[in-house]
Structure 1
Amino acid sequence: MDTAIELDTSHIRLGDRPLIVCDVDDVVLHFFAPFLVFLDGEGHEFLPRSFRLTGNVISKASGEALEEQEVRRLIDAFFEAQEQWQTPFDRVVDTLGGFSKDADIVFLTAMPPQFWAQRRRLLDRLGLAYPLLASLQAKGPIVQALHGERTLPVAFIDDMAHNLHSVRDHVASCLLINLKPDSIVHRMAPAAAADIPQANDWAQAAPLIHAHITG
């Protein structure tokens, strides 16, 4: 069971309208595809043997798998340089821009908080200037704290099953959408519950969100 929220969300002010909470990596910004290119530039490669990075990031020089600490260092280095690497998904800027006329949008990214400023700059530059929370904590309690006791529609979009299940456990009325790219790592990822709608892109996700927040 997810632990109680410790992340401060008090600076986010929601209006009297629906709420859309959206993951960032591989939902709004491409992560895994540019990360593979980044790894190659560092002299490493990812072997798609299981759904995890540790044990599957290999040194091209030695053929050995990198230790967890080194994999973590590479991920942090990528997040440090994310403004040079990450690009937006097709249609995400226009789609969220359209929804922002009728709903509040909050980005909830599973990323070490020390890289918040880099992500903030990147999102702003792309025209995605919505409030941003960066946390490695479970997402369910965070969405619950944001939405509170409101009876207005709420939607949550993420590429990972455990995040969707976490939100489902804490916000019963929330529309959940499993939006994910067709990448080698996502093909090996644990599947979301069968009753959670799947979307391959924002063109598929948008009608589901629109029906929920306007219905």
Structure 2
Amino acid sequence: MTEILDPSHVRLADRPLVVCDVDDVVLHFVAPFQDFLRKEGHELLPRSFRLTGNIVSIETQAVLEQADVQRLIETFFELQENWQFPFDFVVETLNALSSDADVVFLTAMPPRYWQHRRRLLDRLGLAFPLIASEEPKGPVMRRLHGERPLPSIFIDDMAHQLHSVRDHLPQSLLLHMMPDSPLHVLAPKPDGIVRAADWPHAADLIRSHIAPKDA
């Protein structure tokens, strides 16, 4: 349980580091959340890149208040093992990369749902260390990688998290990955950061980054 918040307990080898977000990068979030909402009698009508203000009652079309949206999100995280599923090629890609690099999951999720996510990732064959934190990811990434003179890679779907890591660990390779969802179409785009189209593309970019420079 020490991996929930404190990255100092993640033991890294003397090799490159790949740090990866989970929701809508490793596991689908928006698509199964929409299915979950419909089961609860609600629907997501993307009009901006946020959930509050865009979830309505199917019956009345009334917009749900923030407290109700938060309750639905927390219920979804409680039940995530029944709803979330992996992106194509993510399992084989990360397991292949783990032969040459340490892989760590850094998920922006309330830490109380760490065990639920841990069970789901393990069941999928993604038994890499998992850190759950609601703080910006740049400082976490910095504490994790420190001053090690080794390549580091950070993958996320959120522009602000990519920018946070760039501010705290500018030598990292930053990769922007996100699904083709109606909500993500409205998302802010990270400035000057490479977009990985899918996991095979991400693997190519990562292997190029970690390859010995004199090879």
Q: Which residue of structure 2 aligns with residue 198 of structure 1?
A: 195
Q: Distance in 2 between matches of 1:68 and 1:159?
A: 23
In the TM superposition, what is the alpha-carbon distance from 1:200 to its structure 2 partner? Answer: 2.2
- After TM superposition, what 4+ stretches of structure 1 lie above 3 angstroms from structure 2? none
Mapping of residues 77-156 of structure 1, within 5 Å: 77-156=75-154
**Structure 2 unaligned blocks of 5 or more:** none
AA partner of residue 211 (structure 1) = S
In the TM superposition, what is the alpha-carbon distance from 1:147 to its structure 2 partner? Answer: 0.3
CA deviation vs aligned residue, 1:81-136 (integer Å, no higher than 9, x gap): 00000111100011001110111010000111100000000000000000000111
Q: Distance in 2 between matches of 1:203 and 1:17?
A: 21
- TM-score w.r.t. length of structure 2: 0.95
Check the 8 A contact 1:182/1:200 in 2, yes or no. Answer: no
Check the 8 A contact 2:166/2:172 in 1, yes or no. Answer: yes
Q: 1:45 aligns with which of 39, 43, 46?
A: 43
Check the 8 A contact 2:8/2:143 in 1, yes or no. Answer: no
Q: 1:166 aligns with which of 164, 188, 194?
A: 164
Q: Secondary structure of the residue that 2:8 maps to in structure 1? A: coil
CA deviation vs aligned residue, 1:24-81 (integer Å, no higher than 9, x gap): 0000000100000000000000111111110110011221100001000000000000
In the TM superposition, what is the alpha-carbon distance from 1:204 to its structure 2 partner? Answer: 1.4
Check the 8 A contact 2:156/2:177 in 1, yes or no. Answer: yes
In the TM superposition, what is the alpha-carbon distance from 1:203 to its structure 2 partner? Answer: 1.6
Q: Which residue of structure 2 aligns with residue 209 of structure 1?
A: 206
In the TM superposition, what is the alpha-carbon distance from 1:10 to its structure 2 partner? Answer: 2.1
- TM-score w.r.t. length of structure 1: 0.95
AA partner of residue 151 (structure 2) = P
In the TM superposition, what is the alpha-carbon distance from 1:160 to its structure 2 partner? Answer: 0.7
Q: Distance in 1 between matches of 2:11 and 2:196?
A: 29
Check the 8 A contact 1:17/1:104 in 2, yes or no. Answer: yes
AA partner of residue 74 (structure 2) = D
Deviates more, 1:124-133 or 1:60-69: 60-69
Q: Distance in 2 between matches of 1:57 and 1:86?
A: 19
Q: Distance in 1 between matches of 2:8 and 2:161?
A: 22
Q: Distance in 2 between matches of 1:57 and 1:199?
A: 29
Q: Distance in 2 between matches of 1:184 and 1:161?
A: 17
**Structure 1 unaligned blocks of 5 or more:** 1-6
Check the 8 A contact 1:38/1:78 in 2, yes or no. Answer: yes
In the TM superposition, what is the alpha-carbon distance from 1:163 to its structure 2 partner? Answer: 0.5
AA partner of residue 209 (structure 1) = I
Check the 8 A contact 1:83/1:118 in 2, yes or no. Answer: yes
